[in-house]
Amino acid sequence: MAIAITLQEYLSDNKINYDTLPHPYTMSSLKTAQASQVPGDRIAKGVVLKEGGEFLLAVLPASNHIRFDWLQSLLGEKVDLASEEEVEALFADCELGAIPPIGKAYGLDVVIDDSLAGSGEVYFEGGDHKTLIHVEEEDFSRMMGHPLKGVFSRHD
């Protein structure tokens, strides 16, 4: 599959410079980090959440887990994980479990964990389980737009 069409068009339309990094098939962001020899805190993963009747994309390092109590405190509202069916509908051109953390490309608001800042570069799944996208942190920030930011994850 390689890069999802929606993501590829978004990168092109926004003139984002990127590289692709093929890797062996993996089923989790952390395993992708290991297979690619990229630190897990440099791989951004997206987790689709439901807040009220709306969907939201939480973006955090692959090496971290969401602390729902912290996230709910940040948002001021209860959030739940979206179902697999809902994720498939929102990211129809992506393989389940390999969604890009670029909410704007898919019409979703984003909340981003502060721990992704400061590395100079970011990697993320391109829509399949075998391709990472590599961008400079400045371009990643530009793709995020003006997300809500805060601390809602931790390394376990």
Domain that includes residue 84, residue range: 5-155
pLDDT number for residue 128: 93
Number of domains in the chain: 1
**Whole-model pTM?**
0.94
Extract the residue ranges of the chain whose pLDDT is less than 50. none
Residue 85's H or E segment, with its range, is helix 84-90
Which two three-digit tokens encode residue 3? 């890069």
pLDDT number for residue 29: 83
pLDDT number for residue 154: 93
CATH of the domain at 22: 3.90.960.10
Number of C-beta neighbours around residue 25 at 10 A? 11
CB 153 within 8 A of CB 65: yes
Helix (H, G, I), strand (E, B) or coil at 60: strand
Tell which phi-psi region holds residue 145, choosing left (phi > 0), alpha (psi between -120 and 50) or beta.
left
Helix (H, G, I), strand (E, B) or coil at 77: coil
Digit-coded pLDDT (tens) for 121-141: 999 999 999 999 999 999 999
pLDDT number for residue 90: 97
